[in-house]
Chains A and B, each alone.
Chain A
Amino acid sequence: MTKSLLALLYAAALTPPALAHHSAARFDLTIRDHTVTGIVKEFHPANPHTKIVLEIADDKGKRDVEFEGHSLNNYYRAGWREGMVKLGDKITLYAAPTKDGTDGGYALEVVAADGTRF
């Protein structure tokens, strides 16, 4: 096994499971002013949708919550650039909530730790 393949597998092992398929149908996209603030545990800009996991602490306690967001390309055109969101950052999402009230949401807009919005 070559070093490069080992490196690839090691990198893959660090990569969290990706969303296999994507749909915004479970989110209430008419609600656009709902905000969620948390600590970044995962931030994976991707197409067709981005995956964001935040550690959130609220009435329900401290837990990790997964959000879906716009595509990498749409975030890029809205101002996101590589390195703008780092693990451990405290960020805020304008997130359309789930229709059934469970944890999660669709990140319509991201407010990075330095205040940059995309």
Chain B
Amino acid sequence: MRESWLSARSAVALGGLLLAGVAAAARPDFTGVWGVYREPGAAAPQRGAPQPALPLKPEAKAKIDAYHALVDKSGDTPGGFCLGTGMPGSMLGSGGYPMEIVQHDKMLVVVYEAHTEVRHIYLGERAKEQDLFPDRNGYSFGRWEGDKLIVETTHLKEAVDQARYPHSDQAKIVEEYRLVSNDDGSKVLIANMTLTDPAFYTQPIKSEKKWQYQPGVRLLPYECTEPAWEAHLEELANKKGAH
């Protein structure tokens, strides 16, 4: 009797393992280097092309206008000061540079080449609220729904300097990633983004980004502050020489 009960329990456990294995096998692997996708035959996107107006609340528009009044004449940007793009600019293109995804069971690491900006998408245990603090890329927690990866990002800093979608610190960004194949069999990663921000917007903002798999491409280092360090050393050397 006991033997048959053990056998039944083993069978159930084995079945569970098999099901888990099937579920894991159904998950796509996003690991690799991804570049900006361009439709076959499409021209390169024009820099500075006009964009549709955003459904901004008046107080948010005033903040963003004040920022642009400061920088538009000089053209200053965070990137020009070696600052990473931050969300959602990072996931929507990051200056046209490639990104690399390293996928693990409990975490995905996304490295955007521009400014070597890194995002961690945690899949295991969510961090405790008291251990989090605001950041330009926020805190990202994901889950698999079949073959789709759903990522929620919170704990963002207010960022009026976002090129396309400025936001407040109340912003929440949900990304939905899925893998498709082109007619030629090449892999395309599609990311649908929804930005919800009751402090800045009257309605959710939606956007789509496509990435093309780039086998054989390696991410390059993006050292940006070294010239400033060299200039500082030169200044020190000049001062020393003057004495």
Give residues in A with beta carbon < 8 Å to B: 8-9, 12-13, 15, 17-26, 29, 44, 46-49, 51, 71, 73, 76-77
Contacts and interface: CB of A to CB of B under 8 A. Distances in A.
Interface of B: 47-48, 72-77, 79-82, 97, 113, 220, 222-224, 226-228, 230-231, 233-234, 236-238, 240
5 contacts: A9-B237, A21-B76, A47-B222, A71-B222, A76-B220
A22 B240 CA distance: 28
Contact of A48 (B80, B220, B231, B233): B80
Contact of A46 (B220, B227, B237): B227
B222 A20 contact: no
B227 A19 contact: yes
A18 B228 contact: yes
Nearest to B35: A77
B224 A47 contact: yes
A32 to B, nearest CB: 11
Contact of B80 (A15, A17, A21): A21
Contacts of B226: 46
Given A18-B228, A23-B80, 18 more contacts: A9-B233, A9-B236, A13-B237, A15-B230, A15-B234, A17-B231, A17-B234, A20-B228, A21-B80, A25-B73, A25-B76, A26-B75, A29-B47, A46-B223, A48-B80, A48-B82, A48-B224, A73-B222
